[in-house]
Amino acid sequence: MAELSQQSSLHWEAALAAAQAAMAHARQLDIKVHVAVVDRAGLELAYLRHNDAFLHSADIARDKAYTAAGFGFPTSAWLGILEANPAMRLGFPQRPRLVVFGGGLPVLVHGQCVGGIGVSGGSEAEDEACARAGLRAIGLESD
């Protein structure tokens, strides 16, 4: 008989709360951003944007969330990983939707990745600060 695995899922209401908190933090920083929150499969649960935020930041936020959920670590960690491995440095950035700069964080519950949050529109540090604010709003921290 086949065994079934039980995995936790990020609820859409938590995703929306995280996105709203990220947007509020961006307002405090006086930046306009796009925020995407995805489940562990990389499927969008929540998306918000400020009026007049950069157009291209929409897809970047989604891809940051997708990348963080897919690998279970912050998108900002990719630079160090790629520096250490020339073959990965050539191949991985060619992958569609892979983002190798800051602003995407995994949503981790008891060490299990249940989703990702991506923010785009400010600097890498500002985007990541907004994503962290989103996680804090749902009672989570990132590493």
pLDDT at 4: 78
The arithmetic mean of pLDDT across residues 8-30, rounded, is: 97
pLDDT at 142 over 70: no
Packing angle, helices 12-29 and 124-137, rounded to 10: 140
Residue 58 is part of which domain span? 12-138
What CATH number does the domain containing 33 carry? 3.30.450.150
Does any domain span residue 4?
Answer: no
pLDDT at 138: 97
pLDDT at 5: 76
Does any domain span residue 128?
Answer: yes
Q: Which of 17, 10, 8, 9 is nearest to 138 (CA)?
A: 17
Does any domain span residue 3?
Answer: no
Q: How many separate domains does the chain show?
A: 1
What is the pTM for the complete model shown?
A: 0.93
How far is 71 from 84, CA to CA, in rounded Å? 17
pLDDT at 122 over 70: yes
Residue range 56-98, pLDDT digits in tens: 999 999 999 999 999 999 999 998 988 888 888 888 778 889 9
